[in-house]
Amino acid sequence: MFKARELDLETLLEAIDRLDTVFAVYDKDHRLVFANESARRGWPKLYDGLARGLSQYDATRLEIASQFPNHSEDDIDQFTEYSVAIASSGKHGEIRAQTGRIYRTHHERLGEKGIVGIGVDLTDLKKHEHELSRLAEENFRLANIDELTGLSNRRHFLSRLDELCDPTHVDPKPFVLGLLDLDGFKLVNDVHGHPVGDALLKEAADRLRSAFCENCVIARLGGDEFGIIVPSEKTADIIETTATDICAVLGQPYELDGERLYVSASMGIASFPNVGQTRRQLMERADFALYHAKQNDKGRAIIFSAEHEIRIRRHASLELGIREADLERELYLDFQPILNAQSQIVTSFEALARWNSPTLGAVSPEHFIPIAEQSGLITKLSPILLRRALREAETWPETISLSINLSSLEVASMEHAQQLMRLIDQSSVNPRRVVFEITETAMMRESKNVLKVLEAFRKVGIRISLDDFGTGFSSLNHVAHMPLDAVKIDRTFLEGIETRRESASVLKTICDLCRSLGLTSVMEGVETPLQARMVKSAGIDFMQGYLFCRPISAGQVQKFLTAERLPEKVQSRQAKA
């Protein structure tokens, strides 16, 4: 401090001149006495004006006018007034200099002698702050946004659901939770490759975005699954109809990879608070409704109802029943013949699972098979059923084939598939006599593995038949890509065929396509002679249905086959058909 007194003024001013900080001194009448280099460089017009003796207002106005040449005179006046007020009030202000740097300025009275103006350079600090907030935003985005589609991700979706279900809310708002799934997406991915799959997901996301209002949450929950939260007090009917329309929009063809690609969308819906009050309840119920939509009403939206609640209970008791069952004793098979449509000669039998439970009674495969599939128990059932079926087929003539239904789990896993092939190998039945029937839905899941498994089956001579064709989404286009031998056309195609001409031509189209792909066609569920005639004239190769024979026991198959040999039997059936 003592030495500072020896410092001459010139040296001191030179040092101040070199500061990054803006430094200016005015006399008590606000006339400029000194401005350092940073000040002069930052506000050249202002300090030049002040040095020339202009008033503070006029000099400031010159500066502002040169900084904002495109602004109106009024704007410049206003801004000048503001700046002068700040300078004389002693308040802090933030201003940008001509150099682009940002200063935090402050004017202070030096008693009666004058005023000192100081501006601290905040540019680097500001940049740093900006970078920090950009990083925070980026982090938020990464944590909450699905990168591919730009929709919310699962995490964000679930946390929004938690907020909305928060039991401490004084005034909880009703909303609807929708879970949406694209049927057939995996196949697109496998056949056309991931880039095309990604493009399809992006377009599906765009379609969803334009279908919903801004205060809805739309998320991609993973794979081809989407979640939607819509604030709504509407009735179940209206919600279901609106959501089904949205499914239809997503089911419109996608023009990608130079092709028209088809997927369908199904949705399960649960509404808050009447169907579920917690996130878990809502998710489970919407998921259950989705499962039902996929099973029974593909391409539609289904809202969780009281009837579903009953089904959930029944489902649970059936699952427990299967778990506790003595499967070797309680399971058995019925067989239903499949005939050559032209000659009416029986060529094979389809083995159909039956379960006679001591506690639940006779349970239809339509009920227990899906439950066994979902719970994974099917892999315990199938080997038992296949072994039995093979044992029966061993007693049949070599010309008669055996059709067996497989579930999605067996065709999705090479391990299970190999177990089934081993069982055939251990029997005396030639694999060429075995047909595996697989539904479209089963083929569409895990389609990459499925293709490998199907190829492995065919390699040993087992034939593959696409079961219930027409109930899923598979377009004829997809069929062409799959390693198949036959297509079993679902019996729903026979509905109204007696009266509707179009139904007959649809059958003919499917049949022609099968022929052009080198596939055998089989019509399921033929019940009337007229149906049989129409199926035959459509050119379908094989038929199966109550008209010829209901599913019969293994013992009856033997009798049937003996009777079948009699030519008059065939003749009488031919007359009927």
Sheet of 22-27: strands edge to edge?
Answer: 32-35, 22-27, 114-121, 102-110, 92-96
Considering the rule CB under 6 A, would residue 352 count as an interface residue with ligand C2E? yes
Please identify which residue in the block is written with the tokens 């289904």. Answer: 302
Compute the least distance from the CB of residue 135 to ligand C2E, in Å.
Answer: 53
Considering the rule CB under 6 A, would residue 353 count as an interface residue with ligand C2E? yes
216 vs 205: CA distance, rounded Å: 14
Interacting stretch for Mg ion, rule CB under 5 A, among 51-59, 93-101, 381-389, 465-473? 465-473
Compute the least distance from the CB of residue 214 to ligand C2E, in Å.
Answer: 44
Residue 256: strand pairing partners? 259
Please report how the helices 185-192 and 194-211 are oriented relative to each other, as an axis angle in degrees rounded to 10.
Answer: 140
Considering the rule CB under 6 A, would residue 545 count as an interface residue with ligand C2E? yes
Q: What is the Cα Rg of the chain in Å?
A: 39
Interacting stretch for ligand C2E, rule CB under 6 A, among 72-80, 403-411, 479-487, 511-519? 403-411
Q: Does an H or E element contain 391, and which?
A: helix 378-393
Dihedral angle of Cα 499, 503, 508, 514, to the nearest 10 degrees? -140
Is 22:42 a contact under the CB 8 Å cutoff? yes
CB-wise, 272 or 396, nearer to ligand C2E?
396
Look at residues 225, 116, 239 and name the one whose alpha carbon lies nearest to residue 180.
225
Considering the rule CB under 5 A, would residue 437 count as an interface residue with Mg ion? yes
SS (H, E, C) 60-109: HHHHHHHHCCCCCHHHHHHHHHHHHHHHHHCCEEEEECCCCCEEEEEEEE
Which of ligand C2E, Mg ion, none sits in contact with 60, Cβ below 5 to 8 A by type? none
Interacting stretch for Mg ion, rule CB under 5 A, among 86-94, 205-213, 519-527, 553-561? 519-527
Considering the rule CB under 5 A, would residue 467 count as an interface residue with Mg ion? yes
Interacting stretch for ligand C2E, rule CB under 6 A, among 116-124, 246-254, 412-420, 542-550? 542-550
Please identify which residue in the block is written with the tokens 């008669």. Answer: 400
Considering the rule CB under 6 A, would residue 401 count as an interface residue with ligand C2E? no
Considering the rule CB under 6 A, would residue 385 count as an interface residue with ligand C2E? yes
Is 514:463 a contact under the CB 8 Å cutoff? no
**Site mask for Mg ion (CB under 5 A), range 477-516, x = bound:** ----------------------------------------
Compute the least distance from the CB of residue 191 to ligand C2E, in Å.
Answer: 25
Q: How many Cβ atoms sit within 10 Å of the Cβ of residue 21?
A: 13
Considering the rule CB under 5 A, would residue 440 count as an interface residue with Mg ion? no
Interacting stretch for Mg ion, rule CB under 5 A, among 239-247, 446-454, 501-509, 517-525? 517-525
Considering the rule CB under 5 A, would residue 441 count as an interface residue with Mg ion? no
251 vs 199: CA distance, rounded Å: 15
Residue 234 makes CB contacts below 8 A (sequence gap 6+) with 176, 242
| Binding residue count for ligand C2E, defined by CB under 6 A | 23
Compute the least distance from the CB of residue 370 to ligand C2E, in Å.
Answer: 8
> Going along 64-101, which residue ranges are E strands?
92-96
What is the footprint of ligand C2E within residues 457-516 (CB under 6 A)?
467-468, 491
- The DSSP symbol for 80 reads H
Report the residue from 219, 267, 377, 406 that binds ligand C2E according to the rule CB under 6 A.
Answer: 406
Considering the rule CB under 6 A, would residue 93 count as an interface residue with ligand C2E? no
Which of Mg ion, ligand C2E, none sits in contact with 293, Cβ below 5 to 8 A by type? none
Compute the least distance from the CB of residue 299 to ligand C2E, in Å.
Answer: 20
157 vs 148: CA distance, rounded Å: 16
Strands 552-553 and 32-35: unpaired
Give the C-alpha distances (Å, rounded to integers) separating 387 from 350, 351, 421, 422, 464: 14, 11, 11, 10, 18
Q: How many CA atoms lie within 13 A of 205 on its CB side?
A: 24
CB-wise, 446 or 524, nearer to Mg ion?
524
Residue 305 makes CB contacts below 8 A (sequence gap 6+) with 236, 289
Report the residue from 365, 383, 431, 483 that binds ligand C2E according to the rule CB under 6 A.
Answer: 365
Q: What is the largest CA-CA distance in the chain?
A: 135
Look at residues 491, 403, 475, 410 and name the one whose alpha carbon lies nearest to residue 440.
475
Compute the least distance from the CB of residue 468 to ligand C2E, in Å.
Answer: 5
Interacting stretch for Mg ion, rule CB under 5 A, among 93-101, 107-115, 401-409, 418-426? 401-409
Interacting stretch for ligand C2E, rule CB under 6 A, among 53-61, 116-124, 276-284, 362-370? 362-370
CB-wise, 114 or 370, nearer to Mg ion?
370
Interacting stretch for Mg ion, rule CB under 5 A, among 150-158, 376-384, 402-410, 476-484? 402-410
Is 522:511 a contact under the CB 8 Å cutoff? no
CB-wise, 269 or 406, nearer to ligand C2E?
406
Interacting stretch for ligand C2E, rule CB under 6 A, among 17-25, 32-40, 299-307, 545-553? 545-553
Compute the least distance from the CB of residue 273 to ligand C2E, in Å.
Answer: 38
CB-wise, 235 or 295, nearer to Mg ion?
295
Report the residue from 152, 266, 336, 344 that binds ligand C2E according to the rule CB under 6 A.
Answer: 336
CB-wise, 179 or 434, nearer to Mg ion?
434
Is 135:40 a contact under the CB 8 Å cutoff? no
CB-wise, 230 or 522, nearer to ligand C2E?
522
Considering the rule CB under 6 A, would residue 366 count as an interface residue with ligand C2E? yes
- DSSP-derived secondary structure for 232-249: ----HHHHHHHHHHHHHH
Write the burial class of residue 134 (CB in 10 Å: 0-12 exposed, 13-18 middle, 19+ buried): exposed
Is 545:491 a contact under the CB 8 Å cutoff? yes
Considering the rule CB under 6 A, would residue 551 count as an interface residue with ligand C2E? yes
Compute the least distance from the CB of residue 229 to Mg ion, in Å.
Answer: 38
Strands 331-340 and 552-553: antiparallel
Is 384:327 a contact under the CB 8 Å cutoff? yes
Compute the least distance from the CB of residue 146 to Mg ion, in Å.
Answer: 38
Binding site for Mg ion (CB under 5 A): 405, 437, 467-468, 524
Binding site for ligand C2E (CB under 6 A): 336, 352-353, 364-366, 369, 385, 405-407, 437, 467-468, 491, 524-527, 544-546, 551
